[in-house]
């Protein structure tokens, strides 16, 4: 390991101090570091590792920067939740020593490609680690979203919107919409309606080998927003269709601590209230 990229956000007042400390640690190892503001993304060059300083939003932005070269990402928890983070900032020196010694693993996470079309025109195409969302703006009106899986009609959701999430995203917005929690190794997607106007409309889990197509059927006078990871977006309207499929890219997460997915649910999402047996 010789070259790393550090992705951060400037909104945190103590960030200059943290970056100065990080520069000193990296220099002590003889590594080279490039520092990139997540709000002004740029190519990662020949970096062999991406260190992400921030919360899950910063991590999602860094994952898109790293996806084409599949550069491993190490999340450093500075955010409110930090579900995707691996270490605390003060633990970075020890983490770097373990990485330098090869004492770590890499966990692959699938990503999602989201594309919107108006007839034959491509309105926008994005990649997401968590989810793609069709949502309405500030109007309190239902939207009609005809949904197909591999060309087979599933249903027309009358709802506030629709979420298609990866297993990684099952602990994010999809969780708030009543979706199931999924272990990150599962090769599936979850389709979750947002506030559906039906007692029978429930999230559904499908293979990530499937193509999902959603046609916006109304209302005619309302623009919707298609977003990927809540960070990149394009407007869609009646007649447009949105496609969700497995991305050819993946996110690669560096794992140092032996914290399993279920322990992370307990510490980050307060999963379970009873005492562990034994």
How is residue 202 written in tokens? 């429930």
- Does residue 278 belong to any structural domain of this protein? no
Is 123 in the same domain as 231?
yes
- What pLDDT does 2 receive? 86
- Does residue 8 belong to any structural domain of this protein? yes
Is 191 in the same domain as 161?
yes
- Does residue 275 belong to any structural domain of this protein? no
Is 115 in the same domain as 244?
yes
Cα atoms found within 13 Å of the Cα of residue 167, Cβ hemisphere only: 16
| Number of domains present in the structure of the chain | 2
Is 175 in the same domain as 260?
no
Residues belonging to the active site: 56
Is 44 in the same domain as 116?
no
Is 90 in the same domain as 214?
no
Q: For residue 47, give its domain range.
A: 3-104+256-269
pLDDT per position in the chain (278 positions), as tens? 789 999 998 776 788 899 999 999 999 999 999 999 988 888 898 999 999 998 889 999 999 999 999 999 999 988 666 788 899 899 999 999 999 999 999 999 999 999 999 999 999 999 999 999 999 866 678 999 999 999 999 999 999 999 999 999 999 999 999 999 999 999 999 999 999 998 889 999 999 999 999 999 988 888 899 999 999 899 999 999 999 999 999 999 999 987 778 887 887 777 765 555 55
- What pLDDT does 266 receive? 80
Under 8 Å between Cβ of 144 and 158: yes
- Does residue 77 belong to any structural domain of this protein? yes
- Does residue 210 belong to any structural domain of this protein? yes
How is residue 96 written in tokens? 């770097």
Task: Respond yes or no on whether the N-terminal peptide bond of residue 219 is cis (omega within 30° of 0).
Answer: yes
Question: Residue 136's domain is classified under what CATH number?
Answer: 2.60.200.30
Cα–chain-centroid distance for residue 203?
19
Question: Residue 29's domain is classified under what CATH number?
Answer: 3.40.50.10330
Is 90 in the same domain as 146?
no
- Does residue 61 belong to any structural domain of this protein? yes
- What pLDDT does 260 receive? 78
- What pLDDT does 265 receive? 81
Backbone angles phi, psi at 240, to 5 degrees: -75, 155
Is 236 in the same domain as 116?
yes
3-class secondary structure for the chain? Answer: CCEEEEEECCCCCCHHHHHHHHHHHHHHHCCEEEEEECCCCCCCCCCCEEEEEECHHHHHHHHHHHCCCCCCEEEEECCCCCCCCCEEHHHHHHHHHHHHCCCCEEEEEEEEEEEEEECCEEEEEEEECCEEEEEECCCCCCEEEEEEECCEEEEEEEECEEEEECCHHHHCHHHHCCCCCCCCCCCEEEEEEECCCCCCCCCEEEECCCCEEEEEEECCCCCEEEEECCCEEEEECCCCEEEEEEEEEEEEEEECCCCCHHHHHHHHHCCCCCCCCC
How is residue 105 written in tokens? 């693993």
Is 55 in the same domain as 147?
no
- Does residue 168 belong to any structural domain of this protein? yes
In angstroms, the CA 192 to CA 203 distance is 4
How is residue 190 written in tokens? 């979850």
Beta bridge partners of 164: 132, 191
- Does residue 277 belong to any structural domain of this protein? no
Query: CB neighbours of 173 closer than 8 A, spacing ≥ 6?
Result: 130, 131, 133, 163, 165, 230
Q: Which residue has the tokens 């309405």?
A: 136
Q: Which residue has the tokens 């869609």?
A: 236
Is 160 in the same domain as 126?
yes
- What pLDDT does 55 receive? 87
Is 136 in the same domain as 236?
yes
- Comparing CA positions, the residue from 194, 192, 210 lying closest to residue 149 is 210
Is 147 in the same domain as 240?
yes
């Amino acid at each position: 390991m010789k070259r790393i990229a550090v992705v951060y956000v400037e909104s945190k007042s103590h960030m200059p101090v943290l970056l100065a400390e990080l520069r000193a640690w990296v220099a002590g190892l003889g590594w080279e570091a490039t520092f990139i503001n997540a709000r002004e993304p740029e190519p990662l060059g020949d970096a062999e590792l991406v260190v992400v300083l921030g919360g899950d939003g910063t991590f999602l932005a860094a994952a898109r920067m790293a996806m084409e070269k599949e550069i491993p990402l190490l999340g450093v928890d500075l955010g409110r939740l930090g579900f995707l983070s691996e270490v605390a900032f003060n633990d970075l020196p020890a983490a770097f020593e373990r990485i330098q010694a090869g004492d770590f693993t890499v966990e692959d996470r699938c990503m999602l490609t989201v594309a919107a079309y108006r007839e034959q025109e491509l309105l926008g195409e994005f990649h997401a680690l968590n989810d793609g969302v069709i949502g309405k703006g500030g109007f309190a009106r239902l939207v009609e979203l005809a949904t197909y899986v591999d060309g087979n009609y599933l249903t027309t959701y009358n709802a506030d919107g629709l979420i298609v999430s990866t297993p990684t995203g099952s602990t994010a917005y999809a969780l708030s919409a009543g979706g199931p929690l999924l272990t990150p190794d599962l090769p599936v997607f979850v389709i979750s309606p947002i506030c559906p106007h039906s007692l029978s409309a429930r999230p559904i889990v499908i293979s990530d080998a499937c193509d999902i197509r959603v046609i916006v059927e109304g209302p005619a006078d309302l623009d919707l927003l298609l977003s990927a990871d809540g960070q990149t977006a394009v407007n869609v309207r009646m007649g447009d269709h949105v496609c969700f499929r497995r991305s050819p890219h993946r996110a690669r997460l560096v794992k140092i601590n032996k914290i399993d997915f279920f322990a992370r649910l307990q510490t980050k999402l307060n999963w379970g209230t009873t005492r562990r047996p034994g």
